[in-house]
Amino acid sequence: MKNILITGSSNGFGFKAAKDFADRGYRVFATMRNPNGKNVSAKAELEGHSTHIKVVDMDVTDQVSVQEATAGILAEAGHIDVLVNNAGIMYLGITEAFSVEQAKIQMETNYFGAIRVMQALLPAMRSAGSGLIINTSSLVGRISPPFFGTYTATKHALEGYSQALRYELSPFGVDVVLVEPGPFGTGLLASGQVPAHREVLESYGALAEVPTAMGEHFAQLLQSEEAPDPQWVVDAYLELAELPFGSRPTRRVVGLTWGTDQINALTQGIQDGILKEMQLDTTLGGVSA
């Protein structure tokens, strides 16, 4: 039986993925914050769904929490075959009006949180000579639309880190891939905050109202019959997990693309060419696009 750890399992993609991987025969460690408090109902539903699911209390923004949770999981399971870094939060608004502290909060979850979990599990994966890390990025990890600036920055950081890590871990038989979802009705917008710098918002005049209107439009779209199905992202996780090492694409766009698939097709060959330019193609060979 393969073991998988999924962060951010209390709702959205992570919640669905925990159920589907369990149904495929995986032993699932579904991590979330406050499983005995705020998220007690999510814990009950997941563990009631399958005996293959164990909910684990873990806060990706807390180093001690990550270390204790992953140590307990590894002690119980022996190894983790697949890690899905899914935990994330998003703020929508006038980029200048978000404080540095608000930008840090998103970085702690979306970027540093992913790094904490990866670093906790990678020694065991490298020692085993196998493993898969799926980092949930976003279309805006590759493009930069207005009003998503602080969130976009976290996903661009995750993309850069993951690309480098993919090269470095390839000789150990460990894959790192990125899933880049478009807009989906997962409640991610509900995780947002109002920009802290009210005086900046006021100075933007009527433009300051545009992000709110945009958010309402997205909310309506994502609740309509034409909305992309979050199951598509879970299906991407499942497909990537079943592919053999060396055959997985670096990036997988899911849902509305906004041209991101074209960007990936254009730039990945250039990106991989850097290995040859740096005379690292032999040392880090075998990495596919």
pLDDT, residue 288, reads: 55
How far is the first Cα of the chain from the last one, in angstroms, to the nearest whole number? Answer: 29
Within-domain flag for 286 = no
The one catalytic residue in 10, 138, 162, 170 is: 10
Within-domain flag for 285 = no
DSSP per position, 161-182:
HHHHHHHHHGGGTEEEEEEEE-
Distance CA 194, CA 14 (A): 25
Domain that holds residue 140: 3-277
DSSP letter, residue 158: H
Q: Is 151 a catalytic residue?
A: yes
Q: Is 137 a catalytic residue?
A: yes
Name the domain count of the chain. 1
Q: Is 155 a catalytic residue?
A: yes
Please compute the mean of the pLDDT values over residues 258-285 and round it to a whole number: 85
- Residue 221 pLDDT > 80: no
Within-domain flag for 287 = no
pLDDT, residue 3, reads: 98
Within-domain flag for 143 = yes
The one catalytic residue in 137, 138, 162, 170 is: 137
Q: Which pTM does this prediction carry?
A: 0.93
- Residue 285 pLDDT > 90: no
pLDDT tens across 232-268, in order? Answer: 999 999 999 999 999 999 999 998 888 999 999 999 9
- Residue 15 pLDDT > 80: yes
Within-domain flag for 227 = yes
- Residue 225 pLDDT > 90: no
The one catalytic residue in 111, 151, 167, 237 is: 151
Any residues with CB less than 8 A from the CB of 104 and at least 6 apart, and which?
none
Both tokens assigned to 149: 């600036």
Cβ atoms of 144 and 101 within 8 Å: the answer is: no
Q: Name the band, by pLDDT with cuts 50, 70 and 90, for residue 214.
A: confident
Task: Specify the DSSP element, H or E, that contains 27.
Answer: strand 27-32
Within-domain flag for 242 = yes
- 256-259-265 Cα angle (round to 5): 115
Please compute the mean of the pLDDT values over residues 49-76 and round it to a whole number: 98
What percent of the residues of the chain are helix, what percent strand, and what percent coil, each to the nearest 5? 55, 15, 35
Within-domain flag for 282 = no
Cβ atoms of 195 and 98 within 8 Å: the answer is: yes
Cβ atoms of 110 and 154 within 8 Å: the answer is: yes
Please compute the mean of the pLDDT values over residues 145-160 and round it to a whole number: 96
Q: CATH code at 161?
A: 3.40.50.720
Reported residue count of the chain is 289
Within-domain flag for 284 = no
> In this structure, how many other beta carbons lie within 10 angstroms of the beta carbon of residue 22?
21
